[in-house]
């Protein structure tokens, strides 16, 4: 099964391709477990995918350690900067929720933050930091000590109930990490085409076959996710 192989590849620190839905973005993202990210992963995402490299955070974790949605930060600042209120993301054509974008960060040991090595360090250390078994306030302090914002790694927060309220790649790829049993943060990047748009599904399937990368759809992830949540009695 493609899903079984996809989970095996995630556990091994390798890529999986995820297509969302024909009635949503109609895009495929290259994804890998954030805890496994190396500079070679970032180079591949940059050269072979070409979209924006982002790293996901489960809503419950973001809430526990105080990581906001960027839309909320901007909305809170609209009194001093009214344009932030005017630009609220309330008309996203494929989504009826606010944008999943969170903060942008760099690890304090990076230089510019944008190089493949710098972004890999930021992402892998972020995943290591946020999933520690300690109180949220202690993790918050550690984040402030070791990371600066803004930066070159874009964080994405999942919706509060994964794949119940929102069905984007943020949720789909985070769900895959839970299913694989790794730290539930995914690093993702959209597959872009050479015609100014997203790479068509057929072309992505060809790319997946040539490179030995599992390809799964949003429907496959949803089915596996609902079975997982029901079997484990989880409120995710």
How do residues 169-211 score in pLDDT, each as one tens digit? Answer: 999 999 999 999 999 999 999 999 999 999 999 999 999 999 9
Cβ–Cβ < 8 Å for 158, 210: no
54 a catalytic residue: yes
185-212 as b/e: b if 16+ CB within 10 A: bbbbbbbbeeeeebbebeebeebbeeee
Catalytic residue from among 48, 140, 152, 203: 152
Distance CA 85, CA 74 (A): 7
Ordered by start, the domain boundaries in the chain are: 2-232
Distance CA 140, CA 135 (A): 9
106 a catalytic residue: yes
CATH superfamily of 2-232: DHBP synthase (3.90.870.10)
Cβ–Cβ < 8 Å for 16, 29: no
Taken as a whole, the chain contains a residue count of 236
Helix (H) or strand (E) holding 153: strand 147-157
Catalytic residue from among 20, 35, 106, 125: 106
Span 95-119, average pLDDT: 93
Res. 1: pLDDT tops 70: no
Catalytic residue from among 8, 94, 209, 227: 94
Catalytic residue from among 20, 27, 54, 220: 54
126 a catalytic residue: no
Q: What per-residue confidence (pLDDT) applies to 95?
A: 73
152 a catalytic residue: yes
Catalytic residue from among 20, 25, 118, 190: 190
């Amino acid at each position: 099964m493609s899903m079984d192989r996809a989970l095996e590849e995630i556990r091994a620190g390798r890529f999986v391709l995820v297509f969302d839905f024909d009635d949503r973005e109609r895009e495929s993202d290259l994804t890998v477990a954030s805890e496994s990210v190396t500079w070679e992963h970032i180079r591949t995402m940059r050269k072979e995918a070409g979209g924006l490299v982002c790293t996901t955070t489960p809503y419950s974790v973001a809430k526990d350690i105080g990581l906001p949605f960027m839309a909320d930060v901007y909305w809170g600042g609209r009194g001093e900067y009214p344009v932030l209120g005017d630009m609220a993301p309330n008309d996203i054509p494929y989504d009826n929720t606010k944008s999943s974008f969170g903060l942008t960060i760099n690890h304090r040991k990076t230089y510019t933050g944008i190089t493949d090595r710098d972004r890999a360090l930021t992402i892998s250390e972020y995943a290591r930091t946020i999933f520690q078994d300690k109180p949220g306030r202690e993790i918050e302090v550690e984040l402030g000590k070791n990371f600066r914002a803004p930066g070159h790694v874009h964080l994405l927060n999942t919706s509060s109930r994964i794949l119940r309220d929102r069905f984007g790649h943020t949720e789909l790829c985070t769900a895959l990490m839970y299913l694989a049993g790794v730290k539930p943060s995914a690093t993702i990047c959209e597959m872009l085409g050479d015609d100014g748009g997203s790479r068509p599904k057929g072309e992505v399937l060809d790319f997946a076959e040539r490179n030995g990368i599992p390809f799964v759809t949003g429907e496959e992830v949803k089915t596996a996710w609902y079975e997982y949540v029901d079997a484990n009695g989880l409120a995710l």
